[in-house]
Amino acid sequence: MASKAQFGSQVANHIDHSKKMSTHVAYALVVYTLLLIFEVSPMIKGSGMSIWPYFLLVALVGLVIMPCRNLERKWQLIDARHDDDVEGMFRRDLIGLWMAAIGLPTALMATIWIIP
């Protein structure tokens, strides 16, 4: 049985992955939105003062919010279990998050550019 001092040191050494992931998700959403605004919106041709491109941008941001929230919940559950050796999983999820945040708007821009 672990003493209170040993338990306290284990808790103190525990890295809060959920907070780190939450921070990365927030920054990734900002980067994703900015890339949509500056990469994709110039490619969308609207006639006159059409509001359609803006609705499309809002919908594209709305589509990624739920997967990002699910990723945050996943890491809240992992942190609640106090699992060890999750650094590899954390790094994999982090790389996937950033690849999606940068890759999705870029792929959409390339698709719009290639298919007129």
Q: What is the pTM of this model?
A: 0.80
Q: Digits of tens for pLDDT over the chain (116 positions)?
A: 555 555 444 555 668 999 999 999 999 999 999 999 888 877 776 656 678 878 888 999 999 999 999 999 999 999 998 887 899 999 999 999 999 999 999 998 888 888 86
CA distance 89 to 78: 10
Chain centroid to CA 83: 22
Long-range contacts at 87-90 (CB < 8 A, ≥ 24 apart): 90/17, 90/20, 90/21
